[in-house]
């Protein structure tokens, strides 16, 4: 079942329920902010202090970072991670594929407002397939008469038991740019988190796995060779209005991306699809 819902302030979202999963998607940002298997804890982390207000981004779930990842490369006054995550998308279609699987397709295209921020005509489609496996496919199409460059990410926040008990497998031997130290390094062994981490891993061979005490989450990707791993740690959480001071203990971002070093050049009429495919397996005794 796919239903239109809204909060008391008229912030609109879709609620999806089928035999296997429950999910919620905000029309602002095409933002999947809740996903859980029936009878299990949510797979995606959502801040208890997150804003659900027009024009304010949601902290958690899977924000869509587009058409630039991070700060704009030449104008720091433009919105962090682009404008797609704060724009209202059009619901293009829904489908119940079977009793365990639902599909939602949303669209964003250029407008007078977007052209003031980024002077190109485009169409974005996000197809979210909600079943025992979660898939998000972001298709960027150049509708302009000139080529443009984009960076993008499906900024997945994963819910974990405790940051001290997790590790990330699949990135050993990969080079990465450390945005905290602004240095290039090589990953030795699995990734463990004991301080602020903000890394762009390059030439990644998916899948990447997040191991927690009670489950393992597998992150696969198509149309991407970059992976971002991010945890803000305590000092940054304290400074963020939409995160609790200790939120860093229960979340970790692992993001399929076309980040700097993996940027895309799209010619007029050309399109590209960035896909992340997420599955999980319980490891409870």
Residues recognised as catalytic: 155, 255
Tokens coding 27: 């029309």
Quick one: which of 280, 271, 273 has its CA closest to 136?
273
Cα 115 to Cα 239: distance, rounded to the nearest angstrom = 32
* Cβ neighbours of 91 (radius 10 Å): 16
What 3-state DSSP class applies to 116?
helix
Do residues 138 and 82 make contact, with C-beta atoms less than 8 angstroms apart?
Answer: no
Cα 29 to Cα 230: distance, rounded to the nearest angstrom = 20
Quick one: which of 150, 154, 125, 152 has its CA closest to 267?
150
Cα 252 to Cα 277: distance, rounded to the nearest angstrom = 17
Residue 213 CA, chain-centre distance (Å), reads 23
Cα 80 to Cα 72: distance, rounded to the nearest angstrom = 7
The radius of gyration computed from the CA coordinates of the chain, to the nearest angstrom, equals: 18
Quick one: which of 62, 16, 12, 59 has its CA closest to 37?
16
Helix (H) or strand (E) holding 71: none
């Amino acid at each position: 079942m796919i239903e239109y819902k809204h909060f008391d302030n008229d912030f609109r979202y879709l609620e999806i329920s089928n035999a296997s999963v429950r999910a919620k998607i905000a029309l602002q940002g095409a933002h999947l902010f809740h996903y859980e298997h029936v009878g299990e804890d949510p797979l995606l982390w959502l801040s208890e202090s997150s804003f659900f207000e027009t024009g304010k981004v949601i902290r958690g779930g899977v924000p869509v970072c587009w058409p630039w990842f991070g700060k704009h490369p030449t104008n720091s006054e433009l919105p962090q991670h682009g404008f797609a995550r704060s724009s209202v998308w059009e619901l293009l279609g829904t489908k119940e594929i079977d009793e365990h699987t639902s599909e939602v397709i949303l669209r964003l295209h250029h407008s007078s407002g977007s052209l003031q921020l980024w002077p190109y005509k485009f169409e974005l489609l996000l197809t979210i397939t909600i079943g025992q496996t979660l898939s998000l496919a972001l298709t960027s199409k150049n509708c302009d008469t000139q080529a443009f460059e984009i960076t993008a990410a499906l900024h997945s926040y994963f819910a974990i038991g405790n940051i001290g008990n997790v590790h990330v497998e699949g990135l050993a031997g990969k080079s990465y740019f450390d945005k905290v130290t602004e240095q290039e390094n090589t990953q030795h062994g699995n990734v463990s988190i004991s301080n602020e981490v903000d890394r762009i891993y390059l030439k990644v061979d998916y899948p990447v796995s997040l191991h927690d005490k009670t489950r393992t989450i597998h992150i696969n990707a198509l149309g991407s060779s970059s992976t971002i791993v991010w945890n803000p740690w305590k000092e940054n959480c304290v400074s963020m209005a939409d995160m609790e001071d200790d939120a860093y203990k229960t979340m970790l971002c692992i993001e399929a991306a076309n980040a700097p070093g993996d940027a895309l050049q799209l010619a007029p009429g050309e399109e590209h699809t960035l896909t992340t495919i997420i599955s999980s397996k319980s490891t409870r005794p």
